[in-house]
Amino acid sequence: MNVVENTKPMIMGILNVTPDSFSDGGRFNGVAEALDQCRKMIEQGADMIDIGGESTRPGADPVSEEEQIRRVVPIIDAIRLQLNETIPISIDTTLHRVAAAALDAGATLINDISAGLDDELIFDVAVQKQVPLILMHRQGSPKTMQESPFYLNVVREVLDGLMQRVELAMSRGVDKRQLVIDPGIGFGKRKQDNIDLLAHLDQFVATGYPVLLGTSRKRFMGSICDVNNPEELITATAVTTALGVMNGVKYFRVHDVKENKQALEVAWAIYQSRQI
């Protein structure tokens, strides 16, 4: 299945196999727990699963490639052997050796939140394995990205930054048709920056590249809604999913599959009617 060529928007269920992710850290570290969560997300309508072995929350420390591989590969193996042989699995990593190990275990695409800034060899892995590559915009590193983010024109600067990474990826041999872009909501952005990016998603879609949106349970929505617990931001996330569908976004990376799938389905029905 070539997820990049899929026309209907798709839900990407998040499976964090980390002890310190901002919302669900430590809950799915074991293979049995991870499989149960994966099964639940598939039953609720997830079209693909995104597995990561390194927390990228603000302030997080980097995790070695060896530790990431130790965390993610057994779970990918188990999904393929025990649960689902065909569902697309994304490996959420910035390191080429982790990506390669995950793809060898059965992952089918790469989700790189650094867009190759951390490890340009990840482009070579995408070419060698002939898999889709998601390139996300990030200002700074997870450790420091929220200390003092600044933009004069966040939409233009994020767009320009992403197009530069797209050009580099293609210069390294990545097929243009295999690229997905992600504006990187919450990654080195202030509250208003995130709002501005959401208000102009159509400009990212206008590039012609499929767009992934990742707003799930993020802090800026909590500040809008006066909510401190990320797990109470399910409805807020679903609102951004509906907004994204209406603007042509193709992929939605979420913790809460059921609610966001419903938002996607209703928004998609409306969007299709608007195209008539």
The reply to whether 176 belongs to the active site is no
In angstroms, the Cα distances linking 148 to 183, 188, 223, 244, 267 are 18, 8, 17, 27, 35
The reply to whether 253 belongs to the active site is yes
Catalytic choice (218, 219, 250, 261): 218
CA of residue 227 relative to chain centroid, distance: 23
Contact 89, 51 (CB under 8 A): yes
Q: Which residue has the tokens 């998601």?
A: 134
116 CB-side CA count, 13 A: 25
- The DSSP bridge pattern shows strands 48-52 and 109-112 to be unpaired
Catalytic choice (71, 217, 253, 261): 253
Element (H, E) at 145: none
Report how far residue 14's alpha carbon sits from residue 50's, in angstroms, rounded to the nearest whole number: 5
7 C-beta neighbours (distance < 10 Å), count: 6
Q: Burial of 43 by CB count in 10 Å (0-12 exposed, 13-18 middle, 19+ buried)?
A: exposed
Element (H, E) at 227: none
167 CB-side CA count, 13 A: 6
In angstroms, the Cα distances linking 103 to 114, 147, 229 are 18, 34, 34
**Catalytic residue numbers?**
218, 253
